[in-house]
Structure 1
Amino acid sequence: MGLTLGLLLAVGCGQQAPAPETGVEGQQDAALSRLRPRVRVATGYYHSLFIRANGTVWAAGSNEYGQLGTAGISSTSTPVQVPVLLGATSVAVGDRHSVALRSGGTVWTWGDSLSGALGDGSTTARTTPAQVPGLTGVVSIAAGKYHNLVVKPDGTVWGWGSNTSSQLGSTVYGNFPTPVQVPGLAGVVAVLASGNSSFAIRSDGGLWAWGNNENKQLGTGTFQSTVAVPVQVLTGVMAVASAETHTVAVKADGTVWAWGDNGYEQLGDPYVSSRNAPAQVQGLTGFVDVSAGYGFTLAVKSNGELWSWGHNAEGQLGNGTRNLQATPAQVPGFTGASFVVAGRRHVLALRTDGTLWTWGHGRYGERGDGAVTLYATPGLVQEGLTGAMAVAAGYAHSLALQYDGTVRAWGQNTTGQLGDGTTVFRLAPVEVQGLSGITAISASGARSLALRYDGTVWRWGDGILLPTQVPGLADIISIATSYKHALALRADGTVWAWGNNTYGKLGDGTEIGRPTPVQVSNLDGVMKIATGADTSYAIRYDGTAWAWGRNTESQLGDGFTVNRDAPVQVSGLTDVVSIAGGQNYGMAVRSDGSGWNWGSDINPGMGTWQYNRRVPTSMQVQGLIEVVAGYRTGMALTADGHLWAGGDNFWGQAGDGSSTPASSPVQVVGIDSGVTSLAIGSEHTVAALPDGTVWSWGNNSDGRLGRGQPLDVLAPVPSLLD
């Protein structure tokens, strides 16, 4: 992944290019002469390397295993120089290790040595580059997940590291910590490794493949999951790229060919699920280079245009959206492309003017653009948002209710969840149109909900661009929504529900979805309501807690794992004053300040770990007044004004300054005077403080934190790696 091969990749690295000939060979040479700069940059899962004009190597992204060539940092978006290396001519990136080729043809490695990936005979990780013994005069390098390939001056291929799928061309499965020859190959000028698969281009333009073929990515025309002996799969190849599950190539005539898995339309053909042999991508001509990431493909035309298609959840297609692209389309506004490399979810592209551009995912800093990658402590929402009395959080958007009864919104707006009449993402708060006199708000997924002083309920998002009144509701005093269903509490103590009804979460005794509200059966005297992912919760005036919906992980707390389409009492809880639910768990606070939780999750968070707690068990933190649940992150507010968090924390949503899972409660940094409102999305948190300011932390993709540059970049921006 992240590497692209061309037949003349080794030119300038110790091997002479074959003299131009007539026909296909001559066409190949002419086209490939434009692609030599590709050796300067490589990118993989979560880190990137770039060779500057002076021959030094610079790195950015994840450094968990020392793959950036430095110690003391876990990741960085600001490029750092890899020590020792001078005169570098080519780089390659594995999953957790790095490889460089120097001008004398020596090969250098650093990072994790799982499976012997560093080629020094050991499995010991190393942060400083060291030469692979016994290799000189090498003309091409490649790095797969845990294995590496090189081409020697005589055209033979050698490899080391993992051989679990015969990616080293051997049926002796296991690890090879020093280089061994791949049998059956001669006249090779370039190699490519991706995942557990291997490829080689011969001087005649023939493409050969071997190793893992579980997704048909080798293109052998068979359904064998492993191919131990190199097999020719295509002729006249000028460039090739692979991304574990699919492979794409450019032929000398400028046509593009693709094969393997097509789960994200990365083959450029929306009518097939996969291909086990190369097939031409229709409508593409005049191309000279290709690259492949996880589920997406990019291609460079001879005129400098850049085209992309396939998976786009992190903006990796560079077209300004997150929408899947089933067929090839030009990247808007990007011209003068020289070559492009794709990581797992991000892209680096070099222009003919020598500038390096990047877009897509950036959680580890792999774009090398200097962007903030982690907001792990609370910070002010920008644009001076004050006077807030309540907040709400969806999957990737946020809401704030102002004291004047208006609502502000920011973040993702793909389906109108910001209520401003557009689908434009907002990095700073904008006013929700047409709303006034609002007393409560709720959000989840891509939907938003608001309660007016007159007891009416209003909704937007999920394709509704402006607030619209929910029919059939009056005298409502409280609302709650998940990404699939919603609840409303009437002044008479009854609860009403609408939306998706899988698992019976509407509580009307059925599993029939309801587009308009229906009354929850056998439940009255309710004073509070809450929603989980597929569950519903209520507190009655008598202090008992009730739940219904999905119960496969005991998230209803009734002692069983049977789904309930009508309310059942949460076992053993009395005098309940607060209740909340996440994906697979529930939480509650009693009037004595004790906290309780039930259900299960990978990270137990606020409770003592016990898989599938069928009934409420005591939390580790006590003296509580309120609990709030996110998808898999829970929080509790104590009477002394402190905020505690537990569970998932990959994006820093626990607010303790780290991204370490909070398997025991951690205190949110800087919150020591309480909050007036708290909301947790799937990966971010928003809080309104007593002074009316709004604070946020966690994932800032799409600007959901309202704190400057979003994490994912949807269109090209300059990288600092160059």
Structure 2
Amino acid sequence: MSVVRGGGRNRFILGLVLCLGWLSGCAGPVAPSEEASDPGVVRAAATAPTWTVVRAGRLHSLGLQADGTVWAWGRNKYGQLGNNTTTDRLVPVKVTGLTGAVVDIAAGNEHSVAVKADGTVWAWGLNDLGQLGDNTTTTRLKPVKVTGLTGVTAVAAGYRYSLALKTDGTVWAWGDNDSGKLGDGTRVRKLKPVQVVGLTGVAGLSAGFSHSLAFKTDGTVWGWGGNSGGQLGDGTNYYERLTPVQASGLTGVVALTARSVTSFALKSDGTVWAWGLNFGGELGDGTTTNRLTAVQLPGFTHAVALGTGDGANLVATADGTVWSWGGNSNGQLGDGTTATHMTPAPVLALSGAVSLSSGQEHALAVKSNGSLWAWGGNLTGQLGDGFPRQYLSRTASLFTGAKAVAGGEYFSVGLKLDGTVWAWGRNEQGQLGDGTTQDHWAPAQVPGLASVAAVLARDSYALALKTDGTVWAWGGNASGQLGDGTTVSRASPAQVPGLTDVTALAAGEGFVLAVKTDGTVWAWGSNSSGTLGDSTTTSRATPQAVPGLAGVQSVAAGNLFAVALKTDGTLWAWGSNGSGQLGDGSDTYGPPRPTPGLVPGLGGVVSVAAGDSHGVALKSDGTVWAWGDNYRGQLGDGSGYIGRTPVQALGLTGGTAIAAGGSHTLALQSDGTVWAWGYNGNGQLGDGFTDDQLAPAQVPNIIGATAVAAGGYHSFARRSTGAVWGWGDNGEGQLGTGNAGYRVVPYQVTPTP
């Protein structure tokens, strides 16, 4: 969010401050075309652009090219991309209306700033507190000139405010003035630039969340604004400073950066210094001790560039290595993991960076050859690779030759026509079955499994039913759902002991149901809500028969309830009824029912499915019926009210198959079309939007489908050719497209601008 620029060994130094503020609703990204030759490969530009500087905002990115043009990508809710729209962009788009060469850029929380070669400053995006400096609070979708500023050489953008450095060494500020971060001696916001009091001879600056920093030509550091964590480095944690104060003991500084409540400086001798709040080890000194004055970070003697952000603190050294530390939930440290680090570690696959910046979830770099690299989270397309975290419309999966597909919460399993099993997505519990816990975003074969007839996936575990009637399980096992008598997770498939002659399976939240050829049902795993149907709430890690249940042909399992379909077309349910998911009209405030009971009023059922807290039935006449939770419209009756007894989904006849995700429902029609309803926050309804649907709506651009499947927040359709379409959440690579909503290792971004 902030920029620093100075002399010495690093003429182009940049940094990024923590962009605090909770994630709010964002516009849906524009999904790439399915027709890309390989969805796992970033599309290359005809002539690769030469990048010189990158800046990362909270969830958007800016890049300056060698020809002086500015490009932007990622979140655009407030017009911070400057292309006169509010549509998120997955690849760089040119900022509109910036004529003449730009020499510097800055990305704030939700706004952007640029300096032209003529010394004027231009800004765009959110302007609620005057951070655009045009003497208004009007949000701008394209650049507007900042009032009264000339002779500017560099800019910085913080949380709802901006800074500018003039050729005469003075600093000017505008926007939000909470904690006095404008440095004018007040806490009053400014809609146009005011001079920072008493500050001259400045060579570089940085804007944070609530504090600002500058270093002078004499190498000293000065700060103002919030200081509750000691981030001004003056030896105190006095709440705020309304005018600049000198940071104690710092000289020879050539670059710096401010983030939330921490600060960093690079000295001319190549050492890196840090101060401020260190509760989570943010300073990188290996401790959690707050620092009211600067301390030297171990190991850096030849640093040449800085760049920090919400999670990723970045330093480049003279040998070309880039180092990172801090939060890493989205892979923003670039070390191939999502583990947090309190001390610097090398960023993989990246060397020779001349510009570094990081946002709330992502990080960017420009190398000396002008190439652009990105890693970390990609929720709004801020990596610029053209791939969304959520596919709002159907896209081609790399899984082909499919006989069936099953979706877990953040992973998927596929069965090929040759009887082999493949898996992709998240793998923290070994649910991909490859003997590791390494995620992968493209389908990979599960070793050791052949002659498989059916697959299932749920939460973080998977099941396979072989043609010989045996059951194999792998993944998470905290409730004994793998059926091997233990609660130890497995990263490779193992046979469920003592279980043979199985014809059908269902996977619930921590429990499993199996139907045998004799029509009996066997259950194991979690039983806290009576889901094992044995009249107790005692969990079991090995299969046992559900008493009194016979003549069953298939089963379905939700979070805390189970359903069995008998050969006579009736349904029987047991477990929790907190959302009416037993379908018998009884009080939802009553205790769970630990033994099967008839779902009244439903006959002629040929298929059953279960979401988290709703059940779905397909009748022989092609109609679809549902009951239970309906908060998201997953029952499809148009009401949004809980269904204590089954209700008919509106307008559906000719149904041939059903599937239930967490809170959404799919139906396949006899004409090969797919219909969807319920929760759509991740695009799992495939209609191009993220609005919930209370009644069935056709999924566009799908014809000739022969099967459907639903995961927690994603959906699949299979065609007769064995091709698979997927849509919805792809944050963990669960659609099998070869990409995901994050990157744990830097990769070169080469889209066509």
TM-score bracket relative to the smaller structure: 0.7 to 0.9
Could you tell me which of 163, 166, 178 is aligned with 2:192?
178
Identify which of 129, 135, 155 aligns with 1:121: 135
1:537 aligned partner, one-letter code: A
For 1:54, what is the secondary structure of its paired residue?
coil
In structure 2, what is the equivalent of residue 104 of structure 1?
118
2:736 to 706, 716, 722: 706
Q: Which residue of structure 2 aligns with residue 257 of structure 1?
A: 274
Which amino acid is 1:536 matched to?
F
Q: Distance in 2 between matches of 1:286 and 1:685?
A: 50
Distance between the aligned counterparts of 2:382 and 2:612, measured in 1?
30
Q: Which residue of 1 aligns with 2:483?
A: none
Q: Match of 1:30, as an amino acid?
A: G
Tell me, yes or no, if the aligned pair for 2:183 and 2:196 is still in contact at 8 Å. yes
The 3-state SS of whatever aligns with 2:431 is: coil
1:417-461 C-alpha deviation (Å, 9 max, x unpaired):
333445565554333222223222111343221112333211123
Deviation at 1:480, TM superposition (A): 2.5
Alignment of 1:324-343 (within 5 A): 324-343=340-359
Q: CA RMSD in A?
A: 4.0
Post-superposition Cα deviations, 1:67-94, rounded to whole Å, max 9, x if no partner, equal 2221357233332222332221111112
Task: Name which of 51, 60, 65 aligns with 2:64.
Answer: 51
Partner of 1:358: 374
- Residue 564 of structure 2 aligns to which amino acid in structure 1? I
SS in 1 for 2:744: strand
Q: Indicate conservation of the 8 Å contact 2:505/2:554, yes or no.
A: no
- Consecutive unaligned residues in structure 2, runs of 5 or more: 17-51, 477-488
- Contact 2:285/2:342 (CA < 8 Å) preserved in 1? yes
Tell me how far apart the structure 1 counterparts of residues 238 and 519 of structure 2 sit (CA, whole Å).
63
Query: Residue in 2 aligned with 1:466?
Result: 492
1:108 CA displacement: 0.3
**Matched residue count:** 693
Distance 2:647 2:238 in 1: 51
Q: Distance in 1 between matches of 2:290 and 2:609?
A: 43
Q: Which string of whole-angstrom CA distances, capped at 9 and with x for unpartnered residues, describes residues 308-348 of structure 1?
A: 23333433222334444454211234222223111222221
Aligned to 1:21: none
TM (normalized to structure 2)? 0.79
Instruction: Confirm or deny: 8 A CA contact 1:628 1:636 kept in the other structure.
Output: yes
| Shift in alpha-carbon separation, 1:346–1:183, aligned structure 2, 3 A | same
Contact 1:530–1:580, Cα closer than 8 Å, also in 2: yes
SS for the counterpart of 1:40 is strand
| Partner-residue secondary structure (3-state), 2:4 | strand
Distance 1:266 1:83, change over 3 A: same
User: Residues of 1 paired with 2:256 and 2:633: CA distance?
Assistant: 42
Q: 1:409 aligns with which of 408, 412, 423?
A: 423
| Residue aligning to 1:548 | 575
Counterpart AA for 2:443: P
Q: Which amino acid aligns with 1:464?
A: R
The structure 2 residue matched to 1:192, chosen from 166, 188, 206, is: 206
> What is the alpha-carbon distance in structure 2 between the residues aligned to residue 525 and residue 612 of structure 1?
30
Opposite residue 675 of structure 2, the aligned amino acid is W
In the alignment, is residue 536 of structure 1 matched against residue 566 of structure 2? Answer: no
The answer to whether residue 468 in structure 2 is matched with residue 454 in structure 1 is yes
**Equivalent residue letter for 1:177:** L
Whole-Å separation in 2 of the counterparts to 1:220 and 1:485: 58
The residue type equivalent to 2:359 in the other structure is G
3-state secondary structure, aligned to 1:128: strand
Partner residue in 1 for 2:746: 716
User: For 2:625, which of 592, 595, 609 is the aligned residue?
Assistant: 595
Query: Which residue in 2 is equivalent to 1:669?
Result: 700
Matching residue's letter, 1:114: D
| SS of corresponding position for 2:348 | coil
Deviations 1:612-631 (A, max 9, x none): 66666554453355442223
Q: Is the 8 A contact 1:147 1:196 kept in 2?
A: no
Deviation at 1:377, TM superposition (A): 3.1
Partner SS for 2:141: strand
- Which residue is equivalent to 2:665? 634
| Contact 1:358–1:717 under 8 Å retained in 2 | yes
Partner of 2:84: helix, strand, or coil?
Answer: coil
Cα distance in 2 between the residues matched to 1:223 and 1:619: 61
Q: Which amino acid aligns with 2:321?
A: E
Q: Do the aligned residues in 2 keep the contact of 1:258 with 1:281 (CA within 8 Å)?
A: no
1:121–1:569 Cα change, 3 Å: farther
Residue aligning to 1:319: 335
Relative to structure 1, is the Cα distance of residues 192 and 644 closer, same or farther in structure 2, using a 3 angstrom cutoff? farther
Indicate the residue corresponding to 1:23 in structure 2: none
Write the distance in 1 (CA, Å) between the matches of 2:294 and 2:651.
59
Could you tell me how far apart the structure 1 residues matched to 2:633 and 2:157 are? Answer: 34
Asked if the contact 1:605/1:665 (under 8 Å) is kept, the reply is no
8 Å contact from structure 1 (residues 34, 338) kept in 2: yes
2:13 maps to 35
Where 2:356 maps in the other structure, the secondary structure is: strand
In the alignment, is residue 290 of structure 1 matched against residue 306 of structure 2?
yes
d(CA) in 2 for partners of 1:361, 1:688: 29
Distance 2:509 2:448 in 1: 23
Amino acid at match of 1:5: V
Give the alignment partner of residue 346 of structure 1, picking from 355, 362, 368: 362
- AA partner of residue 646 (structure 1): W
Equivalent residue for 1:13? none
Partner SS, residue 30 of structure 1 = coil
CA contact (8 A) 1:449 1:459 kept: yes
State the Cα distance separating 1:130 from its structure 2 match.
1.6
AA matched with 2:152: V
User: What TM-score results when the alignment is normalised by the length of structure 1?
Assistant: 0.82
Instruction: Kindly state the Cα deviation for residue 559 of structure 1 after the two structures are TM-superposed.
Output: 3.6
Displacement of 1:238 in angstroms is: 4.4
Once residues 550 and 205 of structure 1 are traced to their aligned partners in structure 2, the CA distance between those partners, rounded to angstroms, is 67
Mapped partners of 2:663, 2:108: distance in 1 = 31
- Which residue in the other structure is 2:221 paired with? 206
Q: CA deviation at 1:468?
A: 0.8
- SS of the equivalent of 1:190 reads strand
